[in-house]
Amino acid sequence: MGDDCETGCNSVTAPGVILGKSVKLLPCVNAPAGFYADHTFISLSRETLSVRSRRKA
């Protein structure tokens, strides 16, 4: 887990999850193994995992 990461209540990180800086994992989300880049927002959208960058253009 990178600096300033946040994981919500009842969220699960599988073995092999690498979270970059300032990643936000919403409550009740199961994050599968893999790398999540800095400033990523991980949520569920209609039972589909949604991974979006939070960086401003």
7 in Cβ contact with 29 (< 8 Å)? no
Predicted confidence band of residue 57 (pLDDT cuts 50, 70, 90):
low
Q: Using one digit for the tens of pLDDT, what is the confidence trace for 6-51?
A: 999 999 999 999 999 999 999 999 999 999 999 999 988 767 777 8
pTM, rounded to two decimals: 0.78
- The two tokens of residue 29 are 């989300």
> At residue 34, what is the residue type?
G
| pLDDT, average across residues 51-57 | 69
Q: What whole-number distance in Å separates Cα of residue 12 and Cα of residue 50?
A: 15
Residue 45: what residue type? S
